[in-house]
A and B are shown apart, each in its own frame.
Chain A
Amino acid sequence: MAILEARNIKKHFSGVTALAGTSLSCDKGKITGLLGANGSGKSTISKIITGVYSADSGDVFFEGQKVVFKNPLDAKKAGISMVFQNLSLAPDMKVWENIVLGMEKGKGIFLDNADARRISREILDRLYPKINIESKVSALSPGEKQIVEIAKALTVKPKVLILDEPTAALEQEQVRALFRYLNELRSQDIAMIFTSHRMNEVLELCDDIVVFRNGENVGKLDFSVDKKDPDRIVEMITGQKADQATRKVYHDLPDEDILEIKQFKYGNLLEASLKLRKHEILGIGGLAGQGQELLLNVIAGAVPDARATAVVDGKEVPLKSPKTAIRNGIVLVPGDRNLEGLFVDNSVYKNIRIPKLALKGQPLFTPDKKYREEAEEIVKRLNIVTSSIDNPVGNLSGGNAQKVVVGKWLPFDIKVLLLADPAKGVDVIAKRDMYELVSKMAEENDLGVIVYATDNDELISYCDRVLLMFEGRIVAELNKEEITDQNLVAKSMHMEPKEASV
């Protein structure tokens, strides 16, 4: 009999189905792995169980009783603790203050801080003793913060512990410590739901797994009966049996590098080198948040501390500022359109004009007439739908606004075009238009393109080559026909432990 069971849960977010009658259960003393691609509903169901969201329909049963929690604290008090993926710590407070936050005990009108320190110390001693409970959370490394987050879930001994990608931010040694602790909890008959993108972790830790795809249950394996077969699990996640050749045409690549990034190391965050050919569209893939955007920012000159050097079309260029990069033909279309790419209150025209200020020999007085004509050209060429070039870009639809971000670089002498998740929040047609434009530009203007895409379909359909990143390093390369969903998922997930991959 399952201690926790979510039955037939449905949930829609403004018209989009996140969960279509999905179920999940877990047993005492077992760790259930919850797997699925990004957006398959893993986090959503956990959040419904713990009362962050309410379900449109379906029920949650806990110890045989139907339950509806008002919020995660309510669930925690009842015995279901959740460790969130997005850290919910208060950075300016101390470790022990964070651990007991929301569960503080009183002593008269005062807080019982001695007791709080004792509880925090006890949990961390068993989980990861290296953390000083008196340090401020802001002084901790990302992995240590994640551990504090886990400790926070354990102040009241839970009956069910839900861990949503707890290892994503952890270093290998911390993963080991966490696993030891989780095994200890398992022996104490605690039920756990464990979400991770890392296949080896799931295979090592879990007693059984549940797979979601597009908000539906698509598979279940019980490792006491079934074989631990990673290929079968990847198949369940992607829903594709054989390799599918969805892409036939690749660019004809001249034997000429347009860009070389020399080997560089940026702290623990990033270590990479790469080469890009003329006309090539190079995809960067992998699980989300493995340093892909940071890599593009380094190439765009926006991370001067990385001290990276590029060779652009035979010329050595230090990547010390976006200005240097732009002047040497490296331009970036950033991932967050509104925060990094646009001036939303400004007109389409001004958005197109501003990057020109970085060019050499820019006259003291801006030649508006000439630039306006250019802007009109760009609007026409990219088919940007706007009442006029003086319309604030904030009034445009997502796809059209994205065209402005790309279009502003058109008048430049581009050698390398960097695109960070360019199709995010863009509809299908605009997405196709944009990739076709980029593909055409690559051939006609003799440039190389590097695109980071979170959606594997984009990598399969438009890239000549794909580099997969993991923990800030490039760990696999796929060429032309090798770029399949199967390969992309497998190479992103079939990772050896960190010691082995370095």
Chain B
Amino acid sequence: MGRTDKMNPLLAFWTKYQKQIIAALIILALFIIGEIATGHFLSIDQFFLTVKVAALVAMFGLCQMICAASGASGLDLSVGYVATIAAIFAARFMDGKNENMLVGLLVALAIGLVAGAVNGFFISYLRLPALIITLAVSNIIQGIINVYTAGAKIDGKPSPALVTIFAKMTGVFPNILIPLAVMAIIAMIIIYKTKWGQELLAVGSNETSAYLCGINVKRVRFTAYVVSGVLASFTGVALLAYMNMAFKDMGSTYVMPSIAAVVVGGVSMAGGDGNYIGVILGAIVLQTLTNLFYALGLGEAGKWVGIGVVLLAVLIAYVREKKKR
């Protein structure tokens, strides 16, 4: 390849944000299809409602993205039960009072930290597959929850302030978008601007090169899972506030969509990618699709078929693109 002139800025923008632009266009297309089919799909209210539900998937999606970015077929199947157990204990400690909020939050985050450290230890230091380890940790936590709920009733409530932040609306605007936006900004800065973010992406892109460049590969990958655990427990608290209660399986339905959001958002599951905006868009695509299937009267079954088809389509498109390079 010879020296070429500076690229046309529009083309450069397209090359750089291609996948995000495509995701945004898919969302738009789905809304238009819904509008044509049902006549009451495209509205500001409907859009914000979709985004509100998608926000929780997107939050779990950040866990998946960080684990995937660290390479070695990374993902975190334990986010659902980590979130659930964190929510159960947060509810207990908060007991519906604002003055207990901090304690409840810290307890939740500590649980996430421990779970993430266990995942990270086995995956990074013992080099065991993330799929198996996080599934095992997930099952263990599920067992703990079952034992706990057999002996004690799940009670307690989130603090009212958290409910306001994560569940309430301001007019048509869902408040949860504010913490999501804050999370997105912090995540983007950490991934693209800090030393740890650079190390994470380097490890995910090429472990051997990263090691020979002097990066402590094991420590970086370990921290990725710790961060994922902490974020999962934080999302558990958000979920608690969103639902205004904690229950046994509250987090488990989010696990698969959170992985799907990463894929649909155009972030490589093979590692080295870290565009969180893509994950958020991916979560919105999935939620819009879900809503569309409900609106069309196809229900739960239709929704899963739809998500499956979209996942396949996206993967095929990206694999083809990789091959072309």
Contact = CB atoms under 8 A, between A and B. Distances in A.
Interface of A: 300, 302, 321-323, 325-327, 332, 334, 339-346, 350, 353-355, 357-359, 362-366, 368, 385-388, 391, 394-397
A3 B2 CA distance: 54
Q: Which of A300, A327, A350, A358 has most B Cβ within 10 Å?
A: A358
B195 A343 contact: no
Nearest to A323: B214
B199 interface: yes
Contacts of B215: 323, 354, 357-358
B205 A343 contact: yes
A357 B210 CA distance: 10
A300 B195 contact: no
B211 interface: yes
12 contacts: A300-B212, A322-B213, A343-B210, A346-B272, A354-B198, A355-B213, A357-B195, A357-B213, A364-B195, A366-B194, A387-B3, A387-B7
A343 B194 contact: no
Nearest to B210: A354
Nearest to A387: B4
Nearest to B213: A355
B319 interface: no
A358 B195 contact: no
Interface residues of B, number: 26
A394 B272 CA distance: 15
B68 to A, nearest CB: 14
A397 to B, nearest CB: 7
Task: List the 5 shortest-distance A-B pairs measured between CB atoms, nearest first.
Answer: A358-B214, A323-B214, A326-B214, A355-B213, A387-B4
Contacts of B212: 300, 302, 322, 332, 334, 340-341
B195 A341 contact: no
Given A354-B210, A397-B1, 15 more contacts: A300-B212, A321-B214, A322-B211, A323-B214, A325-B214, A340-B208, A341-B209, A353-B198, A357-B214, A357-B215, A358-B213, A358-B214, A366-B194, A387-B1, A387-B4
A345 B4 CA distance: 19
A321 B205 contact: no
A396 B1 contact: yes
A345 B209 CA distance: 12
A385 B3 contact: yes
Contacts of A365: 193-195
Interface string B145-161: 00000000000000000
B4 to A, nearest CB: 4
B67 interface: no
B153 to A, nearest CB: 45
Contacts of A341: 209, 212
Contacts of A355: 213-214
Contacts of B211: 302, 322
Nearest to B4: A387
Contact of B206 (A325, A327, A344, A396): A344
A340 B210 CA distance: 8
Contacts of A343: 202, 205-206, 209-210, 272
A385 B4 CA distance: 10
B228 to A, nearest CB: 21
Contacts of B202: 343, 354, 357
B234 to A, nearest CB: 22
B1 A327 contact: no
B216 interface: yes
B325 interface: yes
Contacts of A322: 211-214
Nearest to A336: B208
Q: Which of B6, B206, B209, B215 has most A Cβ within 10 Å?
A: B209
A384 to B, nearest CB: 10
Contacts of A323: 214-216
Contacts of A327: 214
A340 B214 contact: no
A339 B325 contact: no
Contacts of A366: 193-195, 198
A368 B194 CA distance: 10
Contacts of A339: 206, 208-209
A302 B216 CA distance: 11
A207 B23 CA distance: 71
B194 A364 contact: yes
Interface in B161-220: 193-195, 198-199, 201-202, 205-206, 208-216
A8 to B, nearest CB: 40
A387 B12 CA distance: 13
A68 to B, nearest CB: 34
Nearest to A368: B193
A357 B198 contact: yes
A435 to B, nearest CB: 22
A388 B209 CA distance: 22
A345 B193 contact: no
Contacts of B193: 365-366, 368
Interface string B1-34: 1111011000000000000000000000000000
Nearest to A339: B208
A343 B201 CA distance: 10
A283 B201 CA distance: 35
A351 to B, nearest CB: 9
Nearest to A388: B6
A362 B195 contact: yes
A374 to B, nearest CB: 15
Contacts of B198: 350, 353-354, 357, 366
A394 B1 CA distance: 11
Contacts of B208: 334, 339-340
Contacts of A354: 198, 202, 209-210, 213, 215
Contacts of B213: 322, 326, 354-355, 357-358
Contacts of A391: 1
Contacts of A344: 206
A300 B211 CA distance: 11
A114 B201 CA distance: 53
A306 to B, nearest CB: 15
Q: Which of B3, B198, B206, B211 has most A Cβ within 10 Å?
A: B206
A452 to B, nearest CB: 15
B323 to A, nearest CB: 13
B272 A386 contact: no
B6 A321 contact: no
Contacts of B1: 385-387, 391, 395-397
Contacts of A359: 214
A81 to B, nearest CB: 37
Nearest to A408: B213
Contacts of B216: 321, 323
Contacts of B206: 339, 342-344
